[in-house]
Amino acid sequence: MSKLKLAYILSLRNAAADKAGQHIEYKGEKQYMMAPLEYLVTSLNETPLGDAYSLETVIYDDDEGSIKDQEKLKDYGFCRQLGKPWILPLDS
């Protein structure tokens, strides 16, 4: 059986607002905030979902030329950078 192909549309702004890829205080404990993309990839790799679907591409809707996007991503940036948080763990 052939797999259905998925294209994932991602907003780095939303991931940054959600503190994706970071450990945050939640109910008195540090909890890891998994990004939706990380959850999808984990599910495709570790559950039967991967038998039916394949992730083919990730499309970003962020605009590096936008002052609003620059402000919202000031702590994350538009790509992984040493010393800055990112939406996915380093080993991904």
Per-residue pLDDT reduced to its tens digit, 34-70: 999 999 999 999 999 999 999 999 999 999 999 999 9
Contact, 33 vs 19, CB < 8 A? yes
Kindly state the average pLDDT of the residues 65-88. 91
Q: What is the largest CA-CA distance in the chain?
A: 46
Residue 41 has what pLDDT?
95
3-class secondary structure, 72: helix
pLDDT value for 92: 57
pLDDT digits 0-9 by tens, 7-39: 999 999 999 999 999 999 999 999 999 999 999
Pairing of strands 29-32, 23-26: antiparallel
- When pLDDT is cut at 50, 70 and 90, the band that residue 89 belongs to is confident
Q: Does 90 score more than 80 pLDDT?
A: no
Average pLDDT over all residues of the chain: 92
- The two tokens of residue 7 are 């294209």
